[in-house]
Amino acid sequence: MPELLILIPFSAAILSFVIPEKFRKWIGLTAALFILVSSLDLNKKIYTNGIQRLNLGGWDPPLGIALNIDGLSIIFTLLTATVGFMVSLYSIWYFSKGEQAEQDGYFWPLWLLLWGGLNSLYFVADIFNAYVVLELISISAAALAALNGNASSLKAALRYFLIAMAGSMTFLMGIGFIFAQTGSLDMQTVAAAEQHGPLMFSAIGLITLGLIMKTALVPFHFWLPPAHSEAPAPVSAILSALVIKGSFFLILRFWFCVFHEAQAMYYTSLLLGVSGVTAVLWGSYQALIQSRLKMIIAYSSVSQIGYLFILFPLMFMSADPYWKLEAWTACIFQTISHGLAKAALFLAAGNLIQSCGTDHIKSMRNIAGSLPMTTFTLGLAGVSLMGLPPSGGFVAKWMLLQSILTSGQWWLAIAPVLGGLLTAAYIFKILSSTFVSDQKGPQKRNISFFMEKSALILALLSILMGFRAEEISFLLQERMSFDLSGGYLP
């Protein structure tokens, strides 16, 4: 029942608006559990029976709105459900005491609304529906980013929201161009229509531009570090691990399911590749020179997002379909491992802030002694970001490097090689300060058992997903509703 994955979060969100604040978290946790179970169930169905296409209300696509669930959708849904459940578990304790307690009532409805938006985005098969869902995600994400309520977080949230709205409007303009060219909004019909001429050329440019503004690819990354580092820890985890992946998912959908105008896409893909490599290097360098833990992690997101965009030039430059498939699988692996590792890092950073009162890297002295589990989480997630075996990040970067080398585009190899080194440098910067012994430091507060465990579980998953590589590749290669060279499969 794929509709349940949309219905549960939305109805729980509406329900939690009307009930008293102290019960909201239990509605949230119950909904999270149900979503996790039903996405696992849907995953099993897609894995054994193949892709699903649903016409809502029994109306066929030109009139009605269809849902399309393939291997790509289910992987993103599962990632969202896993991270979402762990973050929900964490939030129950995070928002239970201190100044965070008053944000509790607002967090749950907004987070469930965001979750429903993300799930609908993954099933989207109608380009205008994609716009509506994107707006829903932007508004609830920006409201979550402003949850702290102090001036710097409000400014960061508004900056994020303005960029996201400009991105949405650009995206809407692109939809207008597609509609003018093809006269349809259904992805499958648009993919089957003739795509040529200046209208389609502009549509590809506008849609890609609008979506990379929301995905925070260099040079549109400037809003991300303040917005992600000023938010409360669970919100930072959601924004960094899931929300930017949502707009990236739409880029993948449009590039591989809808567009097949090869010339326009070739030039755009070169630009995306250059931005991707720049993002990897610039983001890691910025992460290296920051002095606050959450800023380091946020800049690390800027750099890890860059890896995802190396896929696009490879798709057009690699002649061998085998290596195209390898690059595609590598990109999705990177998405999953980054999502899990980044959520773990932000949750661990939240633990540190609750324990030390600040996230300045100098104040983190000797936490290896007082918070060993959180330090271990930082280390494990760092291993996945650096790409050391056997983590998911290693599988992704290894496959990416292989397909770059066989495609002969040596300039793309700068990103995984130099980027990996820089990543190691900023991860060691975090870890080295945790082992400095400091007897005089302020009294550290204790952290709830569940808060430490849920961060640890996410970090462990990002390491262990390397062992489930075969199943993920199967979903990505055998359960797709489209061909990598463009357009839907018959």
Partner 1 sequence: MTTFAIYSITAVVLFCVGLMGLAVHPNLLRKIVCLNIMAGGAFLFLISLAYNSQGPEMDPVPQAMVLTGIVVAVSATSFALCLTRMIKERTGQCHLEGSDKDKDN
Cβ-based nearer residue to partner 1, 142 or 244:
142
Per DSSP, the chain holds a count of helices (H) and strands (E) of 21, 2
Cβ-based nearer residue to partner 1, 159 or 429:
159
The distance of closest approach from Cβ of residue 383 to partner 1 in the complex, given in angstroms and rounded to an integer, is: 34
Stretch that binds partner 1, among 156-164, 253-261, 368-376, 462-470 (CB under 8 A): 156-164
Give the distance between the most distant pair of CA atoms in the chain. 71
Residue from the set 48, 151, 410, 443 that interacts with partner 1 by CB under 8 A: 151
Cβ-based nearer residue to partner 1, 19 or 169:
169
Q: How many C-beta atoms lie closer than 10 Å to residue 320's C-beta?
A: 11
Q: Is 161 in the site for partner 1 (CB under 8 A)?
A: yes
Cβ-based nearer residue to partner 1, 132 or 464:
132
Pull the structure tokens for residue 468.
Answer: 């489930």
Cβ-based nearer residue to partner 1, 112 or 157:
157
The CA distance from 61 to 59, in Å, is 7
Question: Residue for token digits 């979402």?
Answer: 84
Stretch that binds partner 1, among 166-174, 187-195, 446-454, 467-475 (CB under 8 A): 166-174
Pull the structure tokens for residue 264.
Answer: 């326009």
Residue from the set 14, 23, 97, 152 that interacts with partner 1 by CB under 8 A: 152
Residue from the set 5, 6, 69, 142 that interacts with partner 1 by CB under 8 A: 142
Closest C-alpha to 104, from 228, 3, 20: 20
Question: Residue for token digits 């924004």?
Answer: 239
Residue from the set 69, 143, 344, 378 that interacts with partner 1 by CB under 8 A: 143
The CA distance from 215 to 405, in Å, is 27
Residue from the set 135, 288, 453, 484 that interacts with partner 1 by CB under 8 A: 135
Provide the residue type at 485 as one letter: S
Residue from the set 159, 292, 444, 453 that interacts with partner 1 by CB under 8 A: 159
The distance of closest approach from Cβ of residue 145 to partner 1 in the complex, given in angstroms and rounded to an integer, is: 10
Secondary structure of residue 257 in the 3-state scheme: helix
Closest C-alpha to 66, from 78, 74, 58: 58
Would you tell me the crossing angle of helices 71-94 and 449-464 to the nearest 10 degrees?
A: 160
Cβ-contact 183, 483 below 8 angstroms: no
The CA distance from 94 to 375, in Å, is 18
The CA distance from 327 to 323, in Å, is 6
Provide the residue type at 325 as one letter: L
Query: How many residues at the interface with partner 1, by CB under 8 A?
Result: 32
The CA distance from 226 to 156, in Å, is 5
- Please provide residue 126's backbone torsions phi and psi, each rounded to the nearest 5 degrees: -140, 125
Question: Residue for token digits 């959520």?
Answer: 343
Q: Is 193 in the site for partner 1 (CB under 8 A)?
A: no
Q: b or e along 429-467 (b: 16 or more beta carbons within 10 Å of the residue's beta carbon)? A: bbeebbeeeeeeeeebeebbeebbebbbbbbbbbbebbe
The distance of closest approach from Cβ of residue 187 to partner 1 in the complex, given in angstroms and rounded to an integer, is: 15
Stretch that binds partner 1, among 113-121, 137-145, 233-241, 411-419 (CB under 8 A): 137-145
The distance of closest approach from Cβ of residue 199 to partner 1 in the complex, given in angstroms and rounded to an integer, is: 10
Residue from the set 42, 69, 74, 139 that interacts with partner 1 by CB under 8 A: 139
Q: Is 53 in the site for partner 1 (CB under 8 A)?
A: no
Site for partner 1 in 168-187 (CB under 8 A): 169-170, 172-173, 175-176, 179-180, 183, 185
Site for partner 1 in 276-315 (CB under 8 A): none
Residue from the set 4, 7, 165, 192 that interacts with partner 1 by CB under 8 A: 165
Stretch that binds partner 1, among 132-140, 296-304, 319-327, 387-395 (CB under 8 A): 132-140
**Preceding peptide of 313 cis, ω within 30°:** no
Q: Is 457 in the site for partner 1 (CB under 8 A)?
A: no
Q: How many C-beta atoms lie closer than 10 Å to residue 206's C-beta?
A: 20
Q: How many C-beta atoms lie closer than 10 Å to residue 340's C-beta?
A: 29
Site for partner 1 in 87-126 (CB under 8 A): none
The distance of closest approach from Cβ of residue 306 to partner 1 in the complex, given in angstroms and rounded to an integer, is: 23
Residue from the set 149, 197, 219, 321 that interacts with partner 1 by CB under 8 A: 149
Q: Is 150 in the site for partner 1 (CB under 8 A)?
A: yes
Stretch that binds partner 1, among 136-144, 271-279, 357-365, 460-468 (CB under 8 A): 136-144
Cβ-based nearer residue to partner 1, 123 or 220:
220
The distance of closest approach from Cβ of residue 359 to partner 1 in the complex, given in angstroms and rounded to an integer, is: 16
Closest C-alpha to 292, from 368, 353, 215, 373: 353
Strands 66-69 and 52-55: antiparallel
The distance of closest approach from Cβ of residue 447 to partner 1 in the complex, given in angstroms and rounded to an integer, is: 28
Cβ-contact 35, 152 below 8 angstroms: no
Stretch that binds partner 1, among 162-170, 349-357, 360-368, 376-384 (CB under 8 A): 162-170
Question: Which residues lie near partner 1 (CB under 8 A)?
Answer: 128, 131-132, 135, 138-139, 142-143, 146, 149-152, 154-155, 157-159, 161-162, 165-166, 169-170, 172-173, 175-176, 179-180, 183, 185
